[in-house]
Amino acid sequence: MVRLTRAQTQERTRSGVLAAARAEFAAHGYGDAKIDGIAARAGLTRGAIYANFTGKRALYLSVLAADAERAARRSGAGAAQVRSPREALAAIARARLSGRALTGAELPAEVLDDDRVRTAHAQLLTLEAVVLGLALERLGRRGRGTRVAASALTLLAGADGLATSAPGFADPFDVVAACELLAGLPPDRGGPRPYLRHVAPARPVDEPWPGAPAPRDGIVHVLGLHRLEAAEESVRSAPAGADVTVALVAGRPDDLEPLARLVLARLDGTLRQAIPEPARPPLRLLLGPAAADLAAAAGVTEPADDTEAAVRVEAGRLVARADGRGAGYAVVAGAVTRAVARPA
């Protein structure tokens, strides 16, 4: 008989708990599902459930996240014919409407009955709009695309809610057509946020990357789940071709990380189905252990929901550090300033 390692045993237990939770939520919905019912289905004690998950919200979001991740991996490359912002918006709408049962687009109000969770959810949606907006720009959208993407996500969220509360009311073909029309919104120049003029310069350093392997040359932006809107600052400030990696962290990841997994999986599936590869923004989003490792390398040893720090990497070495609001902008602006000041 093969003996399982401790890690394998823990993973098997978590998988069993998630399977039991999925059945409990399917039978009773979020509001009426009980931890005791999940424990009974899993053949475990209530304490064993809490040893693996912080509570019912974390369990529910973990189930949705796992389903969304599977759906994203199964997503076909259906974006080859998308060549314009209008076509992309229609493809985004079709992808979201066809995948609503798997992506958990509409979350029960009880799941979002905590200010900390609501703030993180809003910031995750903002990050989603930033990524999709950048894709629209790469497909020819004039001006900033974030507002258009956010409007499309708002329309689709409303349609998703009505699909549950008033089945048959909204025609999905009309919803797709409405999203297409958002391509005609006036250009939004969206200049840099005023506070960036007052951001302290980054600290020049010359240090080896702590650990291996070093990331590609570019910017590593560490952001708490309440500060994700700042990702747009590093992406837009970075020079052409620079790699931008955003590490998502939280003060208590056990209850917010499943929500982030859900939104990022939904975004991944949408990009695969609606945005051709050349139009996808050069932005990597990391969560979990990989994000924690990058955060530690950037000097963030105790992440918080409002964490903001950034480093710039060149030839495998750290050349600039910054923290606080505008950190992503600071490490780019500082590097550009040094490059300009360097004698010819």
* 59-76 pLDDT, tens digit each: 999 999 999 898 888 876
Helix extents (H) in 182-305:
231-237, 253-274, 289-297
187 DSSP assignment: P
Which pLDDT score, from 0 to 100, does residue 311 have?
94
Which pLDDT score, from 0 to 100, does residue 222 have?
97
Which pLDDT score, from 0 to 100, does residue 7 have?
66
Rounded to the nearest 10 degrees, how much is the dihedral formed by the CA atoms of 89, 90, 95, 97?
Answer: 110
Which pLDDT score, from 0 to 100, does residue 245 have?
94
Encoding tokens for residue 69?
């991740």
Output the pTM of the full model.
0.90
Torsion over CA: 137, 143, 146, 148 (sign): negative
Q: How far is CA 143 from the centre of its chain?
A: 23
End-to-end, the C-alpha distance of the chain in Å comes to: 70
Which pLDDT score, from 0 to 100, does residue 138 have?
95
Which pLDDT score, from 0 to 100, does residue 80 have?
67
All domains of the chain in start order, with CATH = 7-53 (1.10.10), 61-191+201-341 (no CATH)
pLDDT in tens, 126-140: 999 999 999 999 999
Beta bridge mates, 285: 246
Burial of 218 (0-12, 13-18, 19+ CB in 10 A): buried
- Give the span between the Cα atoms of 34 and 43, in whole angstroms: 14
Encoding tokens for residue 125?
């949606």
Residues of the chain below pLDDT 50: 101-104, 337-344
- Give the span between the Cα atoms of 263 and 48, in whole angstroms: 27
Beta bridge mates, 310: 221, 322
